Amino acid sequence: MNRWIGPALAAPVTLWLLLSFAAPMLVVLVLSLHEYPDPFGPIFMAPSLAQYSDIVSDGFYYGVVSETVLLGIGVTVLTALLGYPLAHWLARMPVKYRALAFSVILIPLLTNVVVRSLGIILLLAPEGLINTVTGFFGIPPARNMLFTHGAVAVALAQVFLPFMVLALYDNLQNTSPRVHEAAESLGASPAVRFLTVDLPLSLPGLRSGAIIVFLMASTAYVSATLLGGKKVWTTGMLVLQEAIKNLNAPLASALAVTMTITSLAFAALCTVALNRLMPWLKARPSRPLSIPRWLVPVIDILGPVVSKLLLVAALLLLLLPLVLVCVQSFNDVPQATAAGFRGFTLKWYEQVFFAGTYADAFWVSVKLAVTSMLVAIALALPAAFALARFPFKGRSVLLAFWLLPLSLPHVAIGVGMLRLLQLYLMIPPFLGLVAIHVIVILPFAITLLTTSVMALDRAQEEAASSLGANPIRRFLLVIMPGLAPGLFAAGIVGFLLSFGEVTVTSFLTTARLTTLPVRIYAESTFSLEPTAHAISAVLILFTVIALTLVGRVVRLDRLYAR
């Protein structure tokens, strides 16, 4: 076999990542070493540590960064608490219903973060759902739930819970039933078994889930802006403000780099700490976990109750905001965030469908999502073949590079790309957006398609070959149909990921080129009508339909399998 095939197939995706991921990251690094902001100046200047010494010496930045880290840790703990019962529930679900149950996670995951944050506002507002419900029981309303760190943490937990659940599910599902039988035969009740067997065995999942959730939560700014009402500051908000509002790219870059380093440090700490809890991975002796005898009855009584309560809380947290958004789309209120049902109206839908509000932004989003999805698949497919069929040296290093965008703050890429577009005026802004969206999709597309390629039946290709089919015919008539479900799933997931992206996109949109979620976000920070909820409700419906279609060709729980 030609040993160049693997590297050749891997080249396109690597090149794309070098250009649109590594290059902006490099620009960010270089910019962060600028002494002073010069929005129209060159990229290369004599390096200086001025920005970093500003950040280190200014108590304000120190405060925001540490607040962000604490917020990230809080969200991680919250998602782990809510994620375990949910993942456990999914893993125990009969296969027949599992696809349906999975949509509980996938629908929120693929709905854009602005819409979900708007839903949380309707939940926590003074006249929102929580206060209405507690009002029935005569509990006085809590008027100050919005604009607090708690509100931001709840919103972020809503947004990132699906990632934690997917990570945990992977592990919980892979635990052999025999292990459970063994635990039971030794007298462990379900609650004790969970604590002593499932929990330790799921630690690798917890590790990757915690790292992803922390990274995303500590760089998010959309939910923090909407629910913190400018009273809560996160590093991501600072980066956006410095890069866009104050045109201080060096400071924004230095903050983004600080953020990246903090995140990576946390990831490293998390890995080290959790690895120490898993000595068996390195084949070291481990002390069996034992629970004191007197505690067992307590756990047996409390365990089922607490886990059920958490499960209900997790399900409500995931789905309620979306339901509220749909309800609000029929609400006759002057402002989108005004909670409390005042009267039924269809006027918001009328504006969306007949007056054409958001139509431009919608089409930009569709074009962008379709283009990015096609490019991402065209890049990921050869890469998947390289990984699955043509092993070459350095493959694992390359794979790590390909998946890197998943674990570095997207905000940083946004700052770098913004600067590149300002310098190279000839690059159309649309191309800049495609470049970034492809990067967001690639990690998912690569993992999805690699599993699909590995699942192909080589015997069929050999049979075709023996019957005289040339490689092109083999590819078109045998391989492609075999890959169809995988391609379809990757296509839909890619489309939805791009369609809902806000974090990086809002750095790069222009007045003539704004995507739908970015437009809703921009308006929601100023004045927003429930038209936004009407179009969001349509999008939620659209996501449900898309997932139903995907569910017919691929098992939904495989969408994120690694």
Partner 1 sequence: MTLSRRAFNKLALGAGLAAPSHIIRPAAAQEPKKGDELVVGIWGGAQEKIVKEHVEKPLVEKYGCKVSYVLGGTGDRRARAYAERGRPSFDVIYLNIYESRQAVKDGVTQAPTPAVKNFEALYPSARKGGYGVAFNPCTIVYDKRKASKPITSWKDMWNPEWKGRIAWPDGLGAEGISALMMTARAWGGTEKDFDLVVDKVKELKPFAAIQASQAQLFEMFDQGLCDLSVEFGSFTRSYVESRNPNIEIASPAEGQALAMNVACITEGTKNQKLAEEWINLHLSEPCMLAYAREIYYSPTVSNVTVPDDLKPKLILGDEQVSKLVDFDWDVINASRAKWQARYDREIAG
Binding site for partner 1 (CB under 8 A): 18-19, 23, 26-27, 39-40, 60, 125-127, 143, 146-147, 229-233, 241, 244-248, 334-335, 337-339, 360, 367, 371, 418, 422, 424-431, 434, 510-514, 522-523, 525-528
In this complex, which beta carbon is closest to partner 1, that of residue 63 or of residue 481?
63
In this complex, which beta carbon is closest to partner 1, that of residue 169 or of residue 495?
495
Q: What DSSP letter does each residue of 362-404 carry, written as one string?
A: HHHHHHHHHHHHHHHHHHHHHHHHHHHH---TTHHHHHHHHHG
Least distance to partner 1 from the beta carbon of 527, Å? Answer: 3
Residue length of the chain = 562
In this complex, which beta carbon is closest to partner 1, that of residue 40 or of residue 294?
40
Q: Which two tokens stand for residue 527?
A: 């004045």
In this complex, which beta carbon is closest to partner 1, that of residue 426 or of residue 459?
426
In this complex, which beta carbon is closest to partner 1, that of residue 242 or of residue 557?
242
CA distance 329 to 207: 39
> Does the CA dihedral 428-35-263-397 come out positive or negative?
positive
In this complex, which beta carbon is closest to partner 1, that of residue 286 or of residue 527?
527
Least distance to partner 1 from the beta carbon of 229, Å? Answer: 5
Percent composition of the chain: helix, strand, coil (DSSP 3-state, to 5): 75, 0, 25
Least distance to partner 1 from the beta carbon of 517, Å? Answer: 15
CA distance 64 to 70: 10
- CA-CA distances (angstroms) from residue 327 to 123, 246, 323, 324? 12, 38, 6, 5
Burial class (CB within 10 angstroms; exposed 0-12, middle 13-18, buried 19+) of 57: exposed
In this complex, which beta carbon is closest to partner 1, that of residue 59 or of residue 177?
59
Site of tokens 């607040």 = 67
Least distance to partner 1 from the beta carbon of 391, Å? Answer: 27
Least distance to partner 1 from the beta carbon of 476, Å? Answer: 23
Residue 438's Cα: distance from chain center in Å? Answer: 15
140: which DSSP letter? P
Q: 344 has which bridge partners?
A: 331
Least distance to partner 1 from the beta carbon of 511, Å? Answer: 4
Q: Which amino acid is at 490?
A: A
Tell me the backbone φ, ψ of residue 444, rounded to 5 degrees: -70, -45
Least distance to partner 1 from the beta carbon of 342, Å? Answer: 11
In this complex, which beta carbon is closest to partner 1, that of residue 131 or of residue 450?
131
Least distance to partner 1 from the beta carbon of 531, Å? Answer: 11
